[in-house]
Amino acid sequence: MNIDHTTFFKMLADQTRMRAMMLMESEGELCVCELTHALKLSQPKISRHLAQLRETGLVRARRDGLWMYYQVNPALPEWMLNILQAALSGLKEDKDSLLDHSRLCAMPDRPGAACCA
């Protein structure tokens, strides 16, 4: 893994990427459709940001038929994973983060909707 600290923080500086990362950090693997629903953004916009996160190595992707699933890369350096956990903990009372999470949980016909406990 060869992600430098500047790239890491640059990726998190964008609101859309940060919101997506926090949902993935919280819920684990998410489908693009789940992220578009939760963030209320278009599929092309979400896919563009996910591609940037994937290219830098912050997330990894998995295809299942027509669906693409993304998750925070578990092979990130420990300090990066710790920062993501700290950010998630710090945002647990943030109204926008709570809204993203509640929209995700309320999504009808969610693939693998065993989360949001």
Q: Is pLDDT of 116 > 50?
A: no
Q: Is the pLDDT of residue 109 over 70?
A: yes
Residue 29 DSSP class: S
> How would residue 112 be classed by pLDDT, with cut points 50, 70 and 90?
low
pTM of the predicted structure, to 2 decimals: 0.91
H/E element, 84: helix 78-90
Map out the domains of the chain as residue ranges: 5-105
- Which option is the CATH number for 5-105: 1.20.58.2240, 1.10.10.10, 3.40.50.2000, 3.90.170.10? 1.10.10.10
> pLDDT value at position 113?
54
Q: What percent of the chain has pLDDT over 90?
A: 84
CA 54/CA 109 separation, integer angstroms: 26
pLDDT in tens, 36-78: 999 999 999 999 999 999 999 999 999 988 889 999 999 999 9
Please give the DSSP secondary-structure letter assigned to residue 65: T
